[in-house]
């Protein structure tokens, strides 16, 4: 179904981007259909930058934000929003659904100009007029290569049109620089959408925690949780669902999801709902049966303590690396007390000895991409300081590889991760995913119903 109204915040974002980057031309190709096999494509997901600036979701679109000529309606110092879109084609639309076309790209999406995508190569060189720098992401994907060629050809044509003026070649910058910085700070509208994505995600996890029984398959978790996501209003999962029973949980990106769930083992579920293009991302680990075994409980308590210490550390002024350090220290203390590590906490942290059991970082930014845009480090290499509006995961994990015979047998093959999504507020943080239990007693109570 086509939308007939697009919120004004998309235009406000374009205004800010162009005001912050005077003289820049932004060239942003959208997502195109990718073939899975034969003539069957993967579900289309719009490029997050193009979506962030327009709300436009169709395949085969390019967005160009170009400096305006002094004689144009936008005037000197202004900019033009130019959308290239699929042309209307009633025959194709009968097969694949209605298209917006150029008229509605202007009326609904507020483009100053809209052209059919076939005119891109002809029109693009003209749009460089008045530009002093180019924002285009060069050299990204295989598919990006043909985009690169089109942009470079347009830059070449533009340069030739200048004649012998001695003007310098336009420098090219990555648009993810300024756009990543904007996307890192969530506006109240974005927070509401992410709040919904998190609520749907949490409800799905809780449903799985209540209904999974020994003898079911990991695939049952995937279908059950993704069904709840859709039922809750999500358009799709925000990444590939991980439903890992027993030792499969020790594989960080396990996605086969096709083995039986056995009583006595744990199951790790890492899944998120995508709502209005925004991601939720939660991990819970719970017993396939009713209770944690004593060994599982000991490890679970260490991971939970580290995770809660991480959430408690999230506030303005702390660095994102500082949160990870705090989580790692609590984790290391726990592993020392269980005899899985030996030595001094700080020494272990500095030497990364704990990475044998906790090999990943604690956090990733969240937003339109589940691993969202934005720099984790400042230009001088120091860690980013947390500020209100930043939104990210807190997800320590503990894994003993099944073949790690140096660890005591009762711990081998255990994988436990606990993940919540937090928003930095003025004086601390708000945990957006508290709806799904993580206290061991609460989980056991739910599993025993």
Partner that binds at residue 228, options Mg ion, Zn ion, none, CB closer than 5 to 8 Å by kind: none
CB of 284 to Mg ion, least distance (A): 10
Under rule CB under 5 A, which residues in 229-248 are in contact with Mg ion? none
> What CA–CA distances, in Å, run from 58 to 4, 148, 200?
14, 21, 25
Cα gap 241→222, rounded to integer Å: 6
Partner that binds at residue 190, options Mg ion, Zn ion, none, CB closer than 5 to 8 Å by kind: none
CB of 362 to Zn ion, least distance (A): 10
Give residues in contact with Zn ion (CB under 5 A): 281, 393
Residues 258 and 241 sit within 8 Å (Cβ to Cβ): no
Select 175 or 397, whichever has its Cβ closest to Mg ion.
397
CB of 194 to Mg ion, least distance (A): 14
Q: Cα 447 from chain centroid?
A: 31
Closest CA to 79 of 9, 26, 152: 26
Contacts of 415 (CB under 8 A, 6+ apart): 244, 247, 248, 249, 250, 251, 266, 268, 285, 397, 398, 399, 400
Q: Is 40 exposed, middle or buried (0-12, 13-18, 19+ CB in 10 A)?
A: exposed
Residues 316 and 387 sit within 8 Å (Cβ to Cβ): yes
Answer left, alpha or beta for residue 153, where phi above 0 means left and psi between -120 and 50 means alpha: alpha
> Which pair of structure tokens corresponds to residue 431?
């945990």
CB of 279 to Zn ion, least distance (A): 9
Site string for Mg ion, 270-309 (x = CB under 5 A): x----------x----------------------------
Partner that binds at residue 372, options Zn ion, Mg ion, none, CB closer than 5 to 8 Å by kind: none
Select 358 or 411, whichever has its Cβ closest to Zn ion.
358
Select 47 or 270, whichever has its Cβ closest to Mg ion.
270
How many residues touch Mg ion under the rule CB under 5 A: the total is 2
Query: Does 420 help bind Mg ion (rule: CB under 5 A)?
Result: no
Partner that binds at residue 248, options Zn ion, Mg ion, none, CB closer than 5 to 8 Å by kind: none
Residues 135 and 24 sit within 8 Å (Cβ to Cβ): yes
> Which pair of structure tokens corresponds to residue 108?
């609904």
Select 10 or 399, whichever has its Cβ closest to Zn ion.
399
Residues acting as catalytic residues: 39, 253, 270, 281, 360, 364, 371, 395, 399, 417, 419
Select 268 or 302, whichever has its Cβ closest to Mg ion.
268
């Amino acid at each position: 179904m086509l939308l007939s109204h697009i919120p004004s915040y998309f235009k406000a974002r374009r205004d800010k981007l162009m005001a912050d980057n005077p003289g820049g031309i932004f060239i942003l190709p959208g997502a195109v259909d990718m073939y899975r096999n034969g003539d069957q494509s993967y579900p289309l997901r719009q490029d997050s930058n193009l979506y962030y600036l327009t709300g436009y979701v169709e395949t085969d679109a390019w967005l160009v934000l170009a400096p305006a000529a002094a004689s144009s309606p936008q005037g000197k110092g202004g900019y033009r929003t130019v959308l290239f879109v699929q042309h209307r084609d009633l025959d194709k639309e009968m097969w694949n659904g209605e298209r917006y076309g150029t008229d509605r790209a202007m009326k609904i999406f507020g483009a100053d100009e809209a052209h059919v995508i076939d005119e891109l190569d002809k029109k693009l060189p003209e749009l460089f007029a008045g530009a002093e720098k180019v924002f285009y992401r060069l050299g990204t994907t295989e598919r990006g290569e043909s985009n690169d060629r089109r942009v470079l050809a347009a830059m070449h044509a533009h340069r030739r049109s200048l004649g012998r003026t001695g003007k310098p070649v336009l420098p090219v910058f990555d648009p993810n620089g300024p756009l990543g910085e904007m996307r890192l700070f969530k506006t109240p509208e974005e927070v509401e959408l992410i709040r919904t994505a998190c609520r749907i995600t949490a409800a799905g996890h809780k449903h799985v925690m209540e209904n999974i029984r020994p003898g079911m398959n990991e695939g049952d978790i995937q279908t059950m949780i993704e069904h709840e996501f859709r039922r809750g209003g999500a358009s799709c999962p925000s990444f590939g669902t991980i439903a890992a029973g027993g030792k499969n949980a020790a594989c960080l990106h396990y996605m086969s999801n096709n083995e039986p769930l056995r009583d006595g083992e744990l199951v790790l579920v890492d899944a998120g709902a995508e709502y209005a293009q925004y991601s939720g991302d939660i991990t819970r680990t719970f017993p396939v049966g009713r209770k944690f075994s004593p060994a599982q409980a000991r490890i679970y308590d260490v991971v939970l303590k580290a995770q809660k210490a991480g959430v408690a550390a999230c506030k303005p002024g702390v660095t994102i690396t500082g949160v990870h350090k705090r989580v790692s220290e609590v984790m290391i203390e726990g592993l020392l007390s269980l005899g899985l590590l030996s030595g001094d906490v700080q020494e272990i942290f500095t030497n990364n000895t704990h990475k044998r059991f906790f090999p990943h970082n604690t956090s990733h930014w969240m937003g339109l991409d589940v691993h969202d845009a934005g720099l984790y480090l400042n230009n001088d290499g120091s860690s980013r300081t947390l500020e209100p509006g930043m939104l990210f995961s807190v997800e320590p994990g503990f894994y003993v590889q099944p073949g790690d015979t140096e660890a005591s047998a009762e711990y081998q093959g255990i994988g436990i991760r606990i993940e919540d999504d937090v928003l930095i507020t003025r004086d601390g943080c708000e945990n957006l995913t508290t709806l799904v239990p993580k206290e061991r007693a609460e989980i056991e109570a739910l599993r025993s119903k």
